[in-house]
Amino acid sequence: MKVLLRSLFACSVVGSVGIAAASAQSGEGTAPRFRSSADVVTIQTSVRTNRGRPVPGLTTADFEVRDNGQVRPILSFRADLRSPVSVAVLVDMSGSMVMASKTAMARQAFEGVLSQLRAGQDEVAVFTFDSELHERRSFTNDPAQVKGALDEFEAFGTTSLYDATAAAARRLAERSAAHKAIIVLTDGIDTSSRMTAREVSALASSISVPVYVVATVPSIDQRAMMEAAERASQQSDAADLRDLAEWTGGQMLFASSLTETVVVASSLIDELRQQYVLAIEASAGREWRRLDVRVKRPSAVVKARSGYFGG
């Protein structure tokens, strides 16, 4: 796997492009320590209890970050619910979404995301994809400007979900918000990507972009997808949408009704706001580096990117 990742993404950007890491903490500020974005790895981290509740009030001392097994000092720390978020919403418009129920749930999920964004602060861009990625609305901090982005929704063509996610990750990396994410609304079926879930995960996690996949499918299809994922997991080099989400620090969620879709989509923005943002110094070696973020509290469940490219 390491050879594959190095060959595909050796030129990926480490950390967020153009962002200097400054020390910050909820309600407390210390003197900023500015570093080049080229030698800083930013890590968006969600911390919840084993019952799924957010764990607020953590400080730098509560975290431990290991880079290829070695403990690394945390250069900066941020925990601020008021920080803006930057979201790229990808909506599947391939032929597999032709059923009216699927398109209706995709639209409902999209509206659920928009309803949680703060005008003038948060920003959002809207893309659709079939065999290619299509930009419907560029990044804007006015949610009203993107409400009609799916009015001309016509399901057609093959599904290049992984390729589309990789392309969106590159664009989102250029945004300056501390909290960033890709939200993919799909029925979960990829039919024509050149890239695999494993390769896209490497790219997305290398630029600190968590991927949240909302599979808007009936309950019976959910079971079929999970069974297919279990079969694939028995292959040593296999990866699927669930892996893509988890390796980038995101999550895969299912929604089988309009009500579930709204709840799920809205909860994603809330999770983004409650993330802790850490930064460590990047390794100079040109290689894939495995990250392990831990919280020194019992029963804490941590989600963060799986690694980055040094050099």
Claim to verify: residue 203 and residue 299 sit in the same structural domain: no
Task: Tell me the CATH number at 230.
Answer: 3.40.50.410
* 216 plus 145 within the same structural domain: yes
119 lies in the same domain as 222: yes
Answer yes or no: do 109 and 135 share one domain. Answer: yes
Note down the domain range covering 166.
85-272
* Residues 226 and 127 grouped into a single domain: yes
The mean pLDDT value for 237-257 works out to: 78
What's the confidence (pLDDT) of residue 280? 96
30 and 102 in a single domain? The answer is no
Looking at the structure, do residues 249 and 286 belong to the same domain, yes or no? no
Mean pLDDT computed over 7-14:
37
pLDDT confidence of residue 224: 62
pLDDT given at position 192:
65
Whether residue 43 is found in the same domain as residue 182: no
* pLDDT-wise least confident of 32-36, 112-116, 133-137, 205-209: 32-36
pLDDT at 24: 38
pLDDT for residue 46 is more than 90: yes
pTM: 0.79
Question: DSSP readout, the chain?
Answer: -HHHHHHHHTTPPPSSTT-----EETTEE-------GGGEEEEEEEEE-TTS-B-----GGGEEEEETTEEE---EEE--TTS-EEEEEEEE-SGGG-SHHHHHHHHHHHHHHHHTSPTTT-EEEEEEESSSEEEEEEEES-GGGGTTTTTT----S---HHHHHHHHHHHHTT---SEEEEEEEE-S---S-SS-HHHHHHHHHHTT--EEEEEE--HHHHHHHHHHHHHHHTSTT---HHHHHHHTT-EEEEE-SHHHHHHHHHHHHHHHHT-EEEEEEPPSSSSEEEEEEEESSTT-EEE---EEE--
The tally of domains found in the chain comes to: 2
